[in-house]
Structure 1
Amino acid sequence: MSERVAAVDCGTNSIRLLIADLVDGQLVEVDRRMTIVRLGQGVDATGTFAPEALARVFAACEDFASVLESKAVSRIRFVATSAARDVSNRDAFFTGVQERIGVQPEIISGREEAELSFRGATTSLDLPAPYLVADIGGGSTELVLGNSDGLIAAQSLDIGSVRLTERHVTTDPTSPAELAAITRDVDALLDSTTVALAQARALIGVAGTCTTVAAVALGLPQYDRTAVHHAHLSADHLRQATTWLTTSTRTARSAVPSIHPGRVDVIGAGAVILQRLFNRLDLNELLISEHDILDGVALSLA
């Protein structure tokens, strides 16, 4: 027996949809898509969703609703993460999504976000344990340490590609002073984490920042999900990609087909988070996974 389910993940920068058949507790992918909506636009400064950001989300929801209907999905789970935790006008977001998708969004905690990311990223992987999953989003970064038995420790940190870019970056290219300010914020929160990073014997990077950095590091002529999924990035490849992403101009980044236009402005700050985290681990490489919280949400419907 199988059941067709759908997961929607609305984050600070993007909204994503996964439709899959659940077969014996495993996912068989039917459709996966992503739209950059920048829901977190200005949230760090204003504490509210901007009207134009909500409009972008609702337009994407209308597109998703058509796909969901055509694929005959039986159950849907819609989760919202960092940006939606921080705002005063979340009711407008709830109502708009309910009207278009037909389900009420769930604002999940940082802990649950971490657990879902871990489950999605590590299903069917054979890695030395414990392993650390890093989900670098637009508004927050989830760190999860665990093994085949489950979680050992998890924490959500308020550092993300959109949040740090809006807070610090005003020049093009990013100035050394701005880059130093981003690095200070990242290091301060990594210093404070309760997750025992030194225990990690493998690092798995998930979500758009990590997959985009991987595409740049691999020199892909265009984004190729198959090439990125389970790619191993050496320390040198990561460092070279981070250096270029943080020192290049917006025009130069825009000319790289493997960087989604919606990530061009914020990928530098996201790369800093990944690099500073990697620097704290006694590892020679990291593994990139295209499976993440979206897969975890779908699996939670089993």
Structure 2
Amino acid sequence: MRRVAAIDCGTNSIRLLVTDLGPDGTAHDVVRDMRVVRLGEGVDRTGRLDPAAIERTVTATREYALTIGEMGVDVVRFCATSAARDAENAGEFRAAIHAVLGQDPEILTGDAEARASFLGATSELGPDDAVVVDIGGGSTELVRGVHGEIGSAVSLDIGSVRLTERFLASDPPSITEITDLVDHLDALLAPAVAGWEPVERFIGVAGTVTTVAAHALQLSSYDSERIHGARLPVDQVREACLSLVQMPVVDRRHLPFMHPGRADVIGAGALILDRLLELAPLATDEVLVSERDILDGIARSAAETQPSS
């Protein structure tokens, strides 16, 4: 049994997982935490990480470092994704995190991000013949698995924060804004899925998908047990997506399952999911929702690649 700490630093949120991993692949989670720090705020426009966003992320990392120090962790792995990948001043971010953790954050390539998402999502659900979709704040990963192996992986620069900043200026978004965003998504997603064989299992992961699932289920609060492993009809998921896109932010904030740091950007993320369900060749009429995602993949790969002391 190894105790592993994984930190996933995305465009919108930073998350910590401390988990005990057995040699047989079993996992016992000790801590799961998420903070919305919006590291990627403005990066799509400026190409740089804002100093205030870096400081918000460093503050959360300090708190995570204290938790890790109390937990007797064997391995720590900190990974950053789209925002850090895109920013020309990522070196400032790297130095700030090193000062807190004593190690550099890994800035994952799009391909590595996709593969970590697939590993995390399929760790419990099984890897065979599945497409894993991870919609983040800055990018979306599409990973096709065949017979337990990754057949293809693509990372697209479309995410909830990036596209909200670029397309959805009004609250609620205007018909013109939504139409422009749909056209943009279709131009990117259609070529990405054009060569796919019919999808037998469509697995959605990460906060956009789990929030859409909570909306589709009309939950009275965010309930991980009901969301993880939920099998939802495609039509029901798409209806929930379009409902969120058209809803004013104040109404989204009043939804009992909505994280306050996600309310202003969930519409763009939901529209990514809707268009993907429209364009992908589906041989299934349901979406399988997983709360295991890139964070779990980071933890498992850290345990596999770093030998026991």
TM-score tier (shorter): over 0.9
Q: Which amino acid aligns with 2:219?
A: L
Shift of 1:192: 2.4
* Correspondences of 1:6-155 after superposition (within 5 Å): 6-24=5-23, 25-126=25-126, 129-155=128-154
Once residues 90 and 72 of structure 1 are traced to their aligned partners in structure 2, the CA distance between those partners, rounded to angstroms, is 30
After TM superposition, give the deviation of residue 125 of structure 1 in Å: 1.9
1:93–1:218 distance in 2 versus 1, CA, 3 Å: same
Counterparts of 2:208 and 2:197 in 1: how far apart (Å)? 23
Letter of the structure 1 residue corresponding to residue 43 of structure 2: V
Q: SS of the counterpart of 2:125? A: coil
Find the residue that maps to 2:67 and give its secondary structure: helix
Structure 1 stretch displaced more, 27-36 or 134-143: 27-36
Aligned to 1:296: 297
Q: Is the 8 A contact 1:130 1:199 kept in 2?
A: no
CA contact (8 A) 1:20 1:29 kept: yes
Is contact 1:64-1:101 (8 Å) kept?
A: no
Give the stretch that moved more between structures: 279-288 or 76-85.
279-288
Q: Is the 8 A contact 1:145 1:195 kept in 2?
A: no
- Give aligned pairs, total: 300
The amino acid across from 1:40 in the alignment is: G
CA contact (8 A) 1:143 1:195 kept: no
* Residue 126 (structure 1) shift: 4.7
CA distance in 1, matches of 2:287, 2:229: 9
Q: Structure 2 CA distance, aligned partners of 1:27 and 1:42?
A: 37
Whether contact under 8 Å (1:76, 1:103) holds in the other structure is: no
Work out whether 1:266 is the aligned partner of 2:265. Answer: yes
Gaps of 5+ in 2: 305-309
Cα contact 2:134–2:205 (8 A) shared by 1:
yes
Compute the TM-score of the two structures, normalised by the length of structure 1.
0.96
Name the aligned partner's letter for residue 84 of structure 2: A
Q: Measure, in 2, the Cα distance between the counterparts of 1:26 and 1:275.
A: 33
Task: Name the counterpart of 2:236.
Answer: 237
What's the C-alpha RMSD, in Å, of the aligned pairs? Answer: 1.4
Distance 1:259-1:79 versus aligned 2 partners, 3 A rule: same
Superposed displacement of residue 150, structure 1: 1.3
Q: Which deviations, in whole Å up to 9, do the C-alpha atoms of 1:183-227 show, x marking residues without a partner?
A: 111111112216733432110000111011111111111111111
Q: Distance in 1 between matches of 2:79 and 2:52?
A: 21
Deviates more, 1:233-242 or 1:207-216: 233-242
Identical columns (%): 48
CA distance in 2, matches of 1:169, 1:70: 43
* Contact 2:141/2:155, CA 8 A, preserved across alignment: yes
The TM-score with structure 2 as length reference comes to: 0.94
Classify 1:183/1:194 alpha carbon distance in 2 versus 1 (closer, same or farther; 3 Å). Answer: closer
In structure 2, the partner of 1:226 is 225
Moved more, 273-282 or 288-297: 273-282
Q: Relative to structure 2, which stretch is displaced further, 201-210 or 232-241?
A: 232-241
Does the CA-based 8 Å contact 1:132-1:197 persist in structure 2? no
Q: Distance in 2 between matches of 1:222 and 1:298?
A: 28
Q: Using a 3 Å threshold, how does the CA distance of structure 1 residues 195 and 297 change in structure 2: closer, same or farther?
A: farther
SS of equivalent residue, structure 1 residue 139: coil
- The 2-side partners of 1:59 and 1:136 are apart by 25
| Structure 1 SS opposite 2:124 | coil
Q: CA deviation at 1:241?
A: 0.8
